[in-house]
Amino acid sequence: MRIIVSGASGLVGSALLPALGAAGHDVVQLIRPPRRPGSRDAVWDPATGQLDPAIVSGADAVINLSGSSISRNRWNTKVKDVLRSSRLDSTRTMVEAIGAAEQPPSLLVNASAVGYYGNRGDETLDESSLPGSGFLSDLCRDWENAAASAGTGQTRVVALRLGIVVADGGALERMLLPFKLGLGGPIGSGRQFWAWIAIADVVGAIRFILDHGEVDGPVNLVSPEETRCADFSRTLGRVLRRPAVLPAPSFAVRAALGEMADELLLASARVRPSVLEKAGYDFRCPALEDAIRTAVK
């Protein structure tokens, strides 16, 4: 396949590109200017809406993974504006290029997140569940709506509702230091569900979607193993051979992280990968302990 990828330098993209190349696909990265001499990369500028439709024309798939890190900085008005613009500008630019392409791509795979569901306690959630409330839920809903407008008889659109990606880097990397210092433990009550997925299954599921035209619309990229925050902490502590007994009280987490604490760490989302399961995807790493051991080895 000829596949166009944006956000290729991120956590998911850096694992996905080698896998696509190894599978024999012709992969073109979208980069911001300037372009390196002799590079096969294609230049775009989502902040100004610039993407030549000829770049996506005739592609078998476009995979848009662009978006500023959701947890790198404490949220304030400026940070939230960047989080929105980095996702919506890139998606709208992609959709406009697809709409103007002489031969629209067959598939648009666009990133999203399980933050779509908001804080839902013990409610079991699948792709048919309604969105929640809050900044992150609103952002994911707008993000998916922007991507969905590319959907036509020629272009299939899939929204990847990603859980916590267990990989060498990202959210897991930020969790490691407290545990290594012996300060790890559950956050808040520890009873909130954390939806997670191994990086191997992020890559595997995207490759599966490329090959299965019946997969359409939102897709929960989460492991079938339901995990509460306390279970996640105990498993991480066991792998690192460090105690996981010092809880971080909700008030302390809120004091340190503000609004982000309630939407990312204290929120509960019991999310099922129903679409992938029904389509027959075989999870490569469905057990959290195996995923963590692979990531921190």
Q: Tell me the residue type at 74.
A: R
What pLDDT is attached to residue 41? 92
pLDDT tens for each residue of 66-98: 999 998 899 999 999 999 999 999 999 999 999
| Residue 35: predicted pLDDT | 74
Q: How far apart are CA 219 and CA 282, in angstroms?
A: 15
Average pLDDT of span 86-113: 97
Provide the pLDDT for residue 133: 95
Predicted local distance difference test score (pLDDT) of residue 179: 83
pLDDT in tens, 156-214: 999 999 999 999 998 898 888 888 877 788 999 999 999 999 999 999 999 999 999 99
Q: What is the pLDDT of residue 146?
A: 97
Place of tokens 């009550």: 189
Mean pLDDT of 253-261: 93
| Domains of the chain (ranges, CATH numbers) | 2-165+195-224+270-283 (3.40.50.720)
Q: Looking at the predicted structure, is the pLDDT value of residue 38 above 70?
A: no
- Residue (of 142, 146, 116) closest to 129 by Cα position: 116
Residue 69: strand pairing partners: none
Characterize the bridge pairing of strands 61-64 and 2-6.
parallel
Task: Read off the pLDDT of each residue in 121-128 and give the average, rounded to a whole number.
Answer: 98
- For residues 237 and 292, the answer to whether their CB atoms sit within 8 Å is no
Residue 37 pLDDT > 90: no
Looking at residue 113, its pLDDT comes to 98
Secondary structure letter of residue 30 according to DSSP? E
H or E segment to which residue 293 belongs: helix 288-296
Residues 6+ apart with CB under 8 A from 117: 125, 129, 131, 132, 137, 269, 271
Q: Which amino acid is at 84?
A: R
**Partners of residue 161 on adjacent β-strands:** 112, 220
